[in-house]
Structure 1
Amino acid sequence: MIVNRTVSVTDAGTGLLADRLLEAGMADPVLTSLPDLDLSTVTVVVPVYGRPLALDRLLTSIGSRHRVIVVDDCSPEPEPIKAVAEKHNVQLVRLAVNGGPARARNEGLKHATTPYVAFADSDVVVNSDTIALLLKHFNDPQVALAGPRVLGLDEGGGMNWIERYEEARSSLDLGTYPATVRPRSPVSWLPGAFLLARTGALGEGFAAGSRVGEDVDLVWRLVEKGWRVRFEPDAKVWHEHRQSVVDWLSRKAFYGTSAHVLALRHSEAIAPAVLAPWSVAVVAAILFQRPWSGPVAGAVTTLAGWQISRKLGRSEHPLRVGAGLTARGLLAAQTQTMALFVRHWWPLTVIASIFSRRLRRALIVSCMVDALWEYWRTRPQLDPFRFALARRLDDLAYGTGVWYSALKGRSLRCLLPDIRRNPK
């Protein structure tokens, strides 16, 4: 039974209903109604490479409620790491060869004997109730992984313009709404800055050969196996944003280099855009910028809306609902096309715009509209000019990383949109 939009599980039938709603992404657990689980059942694994002061800050925020395993990924100066581990009385595992965070996490996983294991990067600070809140999700036996909201860390010295942009538009901040995480959904991955997992669901853990994108790969592999993954924004950690332009852009490009490997492993999930054929036709007509562009785009949109409404026979207002769905689909197609122009395909669009006035206009409009939309949506503590500049630099750096990985891997699969009749 559903009362005030809330399902109370009282028997097998309501349990099945709740499970179906959760799986469909149409409902979220009410954490206050779920029992607390024992915090001692969680082991925290911390991969570290240098940065002893950050490690000390993290371990202080975790406290003594959990067993902690620090995995030193062959730091050049191991003694400060050892001193911090001894100060907090935690287990230290030192690797003889640097293998990256995925391998370090897996080494810690081998030493974890508790039902649940958390992975925390050394440059985060954990809120006091974060693990307890995430742990509530594991009352659902289908949940294998849960992640918190990742916010920017301000230690009182204020943020520069890059950090203020990241506070509003961080790659790691997945928003304010809880969600079931799966490919091609509003929340399609979880950042590895902090994750809580069911130990038995992880198998051998992260893809050991990966130095980037290993968190995305883990989430998608678990979903493919039938596990449920949850994003919980009420649980929070704070992460150090890059402060210099060079470090920040290098990190963005580094994120982009994961595209090729993810495309090889998860080709159905990695497409930079997912479009229906009718929306491609509408966008193409608009891009031609001819006198007939408006009438053709309008005709195709009307036809698409009519076809969608025909499939809504059980709706009381099929035409109204169909028109709404068509409008949303058209808006999604336009925003995805702008993202392709200014982010994933920017080397091509910039070169082509030199020779095409129409494409040049489309690129300029895309740059401006995208920045204005994101500024309005995120309400950053930053003036519009610097936000727009940061937005474009962000896209250029990420797109450069994507192209580097594609050319190095000799495959453009990660750059190709997915055009399908019924996009999911």
Structure 2
Amino acid sequence: MEGFEFSLAKSVSLRADADGFFLISRTPIKILRLNESLYNLLKHIRDGGELAAFHTTHPQDTMKVLLTLVARGYLKLERTAPLTEYPFVSVIIPVRDQPDNLIECLKALEKVCYPGDRLEIIVVDDGSKKDVSQIVTSSNVKIIRNEASQGAAACRNTGAENAKGDILAFLDADCVAGEGWLEEPVPFFLHAGVGAAGGYIDGYDIKTPLEKYEKVFSSLNMGKQLIIEGKTESGFYVPTANLLVSREAFKAAEGFKEGMEVGEDVDFCWRLRDRGYTLIYTPSGNVAHKHRNKLGRMLKRRSEYGTSESLLYRTHRDKKKGFPAAIFSGLSFIALTLAMLLMNPYPLCALPLLYGINVWLKANTLKKYKIELSLVQLAASALRSHLSFYYFAFFHLMRYYLIIIIGLGVVWHPFWIWGGAGIIYTSITDYAVKKPQLFYAVFLFYYLLEHLAYQVGVFWGCIKYGYFGSYLISFKKV
């Protein structure tokens, strides 16, 4: 754990009393009961102590706990450990007919901060029209050629079979790695024992409106919040455009499933986690991806992602789409829906009642744990809970059922009003959070088309693979 630095997140505090040990967040309101050893570690962190000075018998497990607290918003990761030892890394790049992209990708790798004698680069040419060996002349790049195309998954497996590295670093040919691409995620393998790690994927050379949209809303962009998961039912994964995997974990997961044209990264990450390995996403270790700049190509790809869902959920029956089980927020959403669909204001009368009950319950919980908050803070917390649930509910409905809602509106026009409210609410929320460099109307245009393309793909995938698990959700207590 030496070299890592954590701090308590803003508005988070520790408390110990006769009732036990607690980690308390005031914004949002969350309370976590701790055992004494974890409390002592967090107290040590709060007081500015170095992790190296805190004795623990299982440092990697302890590090995973701390990173989980970062992911849940209780801690802030201030600094990762600088590398003092460098595991051998094999960079694996599958490519087919992208000579210019490949050359730029390889040039960027020359600037990556990692010792050259601890690094190898393997390019797997998937039957390109022009042999990659005629383009790449560097002796530091190992080239493997498939005479006929076998697909990206097979290329990655071929690269892994011929790699010497302790860590396999997968990169796409249309990506440009930043200088810290390797040295930033590698410490998580050494100190936290993760099986795989993914980093931030930014947009490259953003010019057109579509590229500006893709920069913030591409499925490759996993956001700015650290995520860590082991063997759970969540659908968390990281894209292969920026994925590092330990050799041991790669072998245990049996590599990528060949023949999958889309979703092979999701399938691989789920199998890796099912075998007990930890997967982490950290908003560092950046690469820049050259997004699709043609609307038709982007929508086709989104539809293909949707189509892959059914096969993935049919294969991994334990994986579920998590949905917050917030009772009073959910009831208020139902009341709002009824008011709009029935064109009747009376269901809205339930909103202040449900909101008031939510505030009262939060106040009782805080009183039980002897936490003091003003009525304004309590009211704001309850309002955030309701608005967050509205976003999750509307986003799910717009993502999977917008076409059905439009169709129902032909029979009963209020469905159009309700669906329109959902699109406006979710799009404004995403626009405010993601801050695209676009006019809202342009963002909304792409946003609508993407949702429609994705759900067409989902429905087609369910028919194609004979499994409608894409529409199943699992409620999670919040």
Question: Is 1:149–1:232's contact at 8 Å kept on the other side of the alignment?
Answer: yes
Question: Is 1:340–1:346's contact at 8 Å kept on the other side of the alignment?
Answer: no
1:125-183 deviation digits (Å, cap 9, x = unpaired): 111221111212222242111112111111xxx61110111123222112233332567
2:86 corresponds to:
38
2:402 corresponds to:
346
Query: Which TM-score applies when normalising by structure 2?
Result: 0.78
Q: Tell me how far 1:100 sits from its aligned partner.
A: 2.0
Question: Is 1:272–1:415's contact at 8 Å kept on the other side of the alignment?
Answer: no
Q: Which of 337, 340, 343 matches 2:393?
A: 337
Q: Tell me how far 1:319 sits from its aligned partner.
A: 9.6
Query: SS at the partner of 1:147?
Result: strand
1:322-365 deviation digits (Å, cap 9, x = unpaired): 76665444223211222133221122111112222322111111
Within 5 Å, which residues of 2 pair with 1:246-257?
A: 246-257=296-307
1:360 corresponds to:
416
Query: SS at the partner of 1:286?
Result: helix
Amino acid across the alignment from 1:20: V
**Cα separation, 1, equivalents of 2:50 and 2:405:** 49
Q: Tell me how far 1:118 sits from its aligned partner.
A: 0.3
Identity of aligned residues (%): 24
Cα–Cα, structure 1 residues 113 and 381, in superposed 2: closer, same or farther, change >3 Å? same
Amino acid across the alignment from 1:394: E
Question: Is 1:345–1:415's contact at 8 Å kept on the other side of the alignment?
Answer: no
Cα–Cα, structure 1 residues 23 and 369, in superposed 2: closer, same or farther, change >3 Å? closer
Cα–Cα, structure 1 residues 162 and 402, in superposed 2: closer, same or farther, change >3 Å? same
Amino acid across the alignment from 1:166: E
Amino acid across the alignment from 1:68: I
Q: Tell me how far 1:379 sits from its aligned partner.
A: 2.2
Amino acid across the alignment from 2:347: S
**Cα separation, 2, equivalents of 1:275 and 1:259:** 23
Q: Tell me how far 1:119 sits from its aligned partner.
A: 0.5
**Cα separation, 2, equivalents of 1:189 and 1:125:** 21
Q: Which of 101, 111, 120 matches 1:67?
A: 120
Q: Which of 268, 292, 308 matches 1:242?
A: 292
Question: Is 2:80–2:184's contact at 8 Å kept on the other side of the alignment?
Answer: no
Cα–Cα, structure 1 residues 225 and 318, in superposed 2: closer, same or farther, change >3 Å? farther
2:469 corresponds to:
413
Q: Tell me how far 1:6 sits from its aligned partner.
A: 7.0
Residue 121, structure 1, aligned to residue 176, structure 2 = no
Query: SS at the partner of 2:185?
Result: helix
Query: Which structure: greater strand fraction?
Result: 2
Amino acid across the alignment from 2:281: F
Amino acid across the alignment from 1:228: T
2:28 corresponds to:
none
**Cα separation, 2, equivalents of 1:387 and 1:42:** 40
Residue 163, structure 1, aligned to residue 218, structure 2 = no
Q: Tell me how far 1:281 sits from its aligned partner.
A: 2.7
2:6 corresponds to:
none
**Cα separation, 2, equivalents of 1:266 and 1:328:** 33
1:316 corresponds to:
371
**Cα separation, 1, equivalents of 2:268 and 2:380:** 35
Q: Which of 60, 65, 86 matches 1:20?
A: 65
Query: SS at the partner of 2:183?
Result: helix
Aligned residues: 415
2:190 corresponds to:
139
Query: Which TM-score applies when normalising by structure 1?
Result: 0.87
**Cα separation, 2, equivalents of 1:325 and 1:208:** 47
Q: Tell me how far 1:282 sits from its aligned partner.
A: 2.4
Question: Is 1:71–1:108's contact at 8 Å kept on the other side of the alignment?
Answer: yes
**Cα separation, 1, equivalents of 2:378 and 2:384:** 10
Deviates more, 1:324-333 or 1:189-198: 324-333
**Cα separation, 2, equivalents of 1:268 and 1:282:** 30
Query: SS at the partner of 1:257?
Result: helix
Q: Which of 21, 45, 62 matches 1:2?
A: 45
Q: Tell me how far 1:110 sits from its aligned partner.
A: 1.1
Cα RMSD after superposing both structures:
2.9
Ranges in structure 1 where 5+ consecutive residues have no aligned partner: none
Q: Which of 302, 312, 317 matches 1:262?
A: 312
1:294 corresponds to:
348
Question: Is 1:151–1:237's contact at 8 Å kept on the other side of the alignment?
Answer: yes
Cα–Cα, structure 1 residues 419 and 20, in superposed 2: closer, same or farther, change >3 Å? closer
Question: Is 1:85–1:91's contact at 8 Å kept on the other side of the alignment?
Answer: no
Query: SS at the partner of 2:153?
Result: helix
Amino acid across the alignment from 1:178: L
Q: Which of 231, 241, 249 matches 1:193?
A: 241
Q: Tell me how far 1:191 sits from its aligned partner.
A: 1.5
1:377-410 deviation digits (Å, cap 9, x = unpaired): 2222211211111111121112222121112122
